[in-house]
Amino acid sequence: MTNEKKISIIGVPMDLGQLRRGVDMGPSAIRYAGISERLEALQYEVEDCGDIEINKKHAVHSENTNLKNLKSVAEASTKLAEKVDNVIQSGSFPLVLGGDHSIAIGTLAGVAKHYHNLGVIWYDAHGDLNTAETSPTGNIHGMPLAVSIGLGHEALTGLYSPSPKVKPENIVIIGARDLDEGEKALIKEQGIKVYTMHEVDRLGMTKVIEETIEYLREKTDGVHLSLDLDGLDPSDAPGVGTPVIGGISYRESHLAMEMLAESGLITSAEFVEVNPILDEKNKTASVAVALMASLFGSKLL
């Protein structure tokens, strides 16, 4: 992790990037599971910035686009980008709590202001590389990675900082097992590095993260971790809106976070898609908190 011992928590109660209500309560569930206390116990100075305001009043179908809730998502993303930008400027580490994965649009727009060669680790069952043309759903939470490389509605790609926010060759997707056809084509066309579950099983998480660290260390000046809890297996993280069986285990995820902590590479992070309505006794929020603690250097001994 970075040398600065200050972490700023930013909650984003966003549920407009997909259809299942309840994910807007993710930040509350993660706070309830004790995120501040866990990080303070690791000797960090923790500032909770509260939540970004989400305007839920706009109509679902905005101006001639099949993107659902475009206006509200764009507005919230802009507010989030500004907040993340300010946090980094103040020398603190931005830790963003979702909310659905559409919030990565805002996080990356803010982070990108500070790095010429930003790296991104996308820990997810999905690629989130859809555009209006390829999306089977019109849900913006399936699009943030495409937006960050400059593909998609200009109300999203052009948001807050110049597009693209990230170069495709600076991205590593880990845990993919549900990719739409258009996403597969885009991955090949853009040369995005992907460790699907096939590679995670075959190589083991140790090798996957070792290679990821080596790949990104050479060419990036900062690395953002975007962790979608549905990257984990639904048996370990049941409280997500789009679960996919055959995912990464809790233990593998811990190992991944500990190795990333050791690498000192991660400069910003977000944990998304925790939906307490679909959860079992806040299990998924607790898993998220445990993984964040590992990412910030907690060890058993």
Catalogue the active-site residues.
101, 124, 126, 128, 141, 228, 230, 273
Residue 128 found at the interface with Mn ion (CB under 5 A): yes
Pairing of strands 93-98, 266-272: parallel
Partner in contact with 191, chosen from Mn ion, ligand ARG, none, beta carbon below 5 to 8 Å by kind: none
Task: For residue 101, state whether it binds ligand ARG (rule: CB under 6 A).
Answer: yes
Binding residues for Mn ion, rule CB under 5 A, total: 7
For Mn ion, the binding residues in 196-255 under the rule CB under 5 A are: 228, 230
**Contacts (CB under 6 A) with ligand ARG, residues 7-36:** none
b vs e for 66-87, b when ≥16 Cβ sit within 10 Å of the residue's Cβ?
ebbbbbbbbbbbbbbbbbbbeb
Indicate which single residue of 51, 230, 233, 270 sits in contact with ligand ARG (rule: CB under 6 A). 230
Q: What token pair was written down for 260?
A: 């990333």
CB of 125 to Mn ion, least distance (A): 5
* Amino acid letter for position 215: Y
Closest CA to 6 of 90, 80, 81: 90
- Beta-sheet pairing, 93-98 with 6-12: parallel
Least distance in angstroms from the C-beta of 141 to ligand ARG: 4
**Residues 27, 99, 142, 152: which binds ligand ARG (CB under 6 A)?**
142
From candidates 242, 268, 286, 294, binder to ligand ARG by CB under 6 A? 242
Cis peptide before 99 (omega within 30 of 0): yes
Could you give the CA distance from residue 254 to residue 146 in angstroms, rounded to a whole number? Answer: 27
| Spatial CB neighbours of 82, under 8 Å, sequence gap ≥ 6 | 110, 160
Q: Is 158 helix (H, G, I), strand (E, B) or coil?
A: coil
Binding region for ligand ARG (CB under 6 A) out of 81-89, 130-138, 155-163, 218-226:
130-138
* 8 Å CB contact between 51 and 83: no
Torsion of CA 133, 134, 138, 139, to 10 degrees: -140
Minimum distance from CB of 68 to ligand ARG (Å)? 10
Give binding residues as ranges.
Answer: 101, 124, 126, 128, 228, 230
Which residues form the interface with ligand ARG (CB under 6 A)?
Answer: 101, 126, 128, 130, 135-137, 139, 141-142, 180, 228, 230, 242, 273
By CB under 5 A, name the binding residues for Mn ion.
101, 124-126, 128, 228, 230
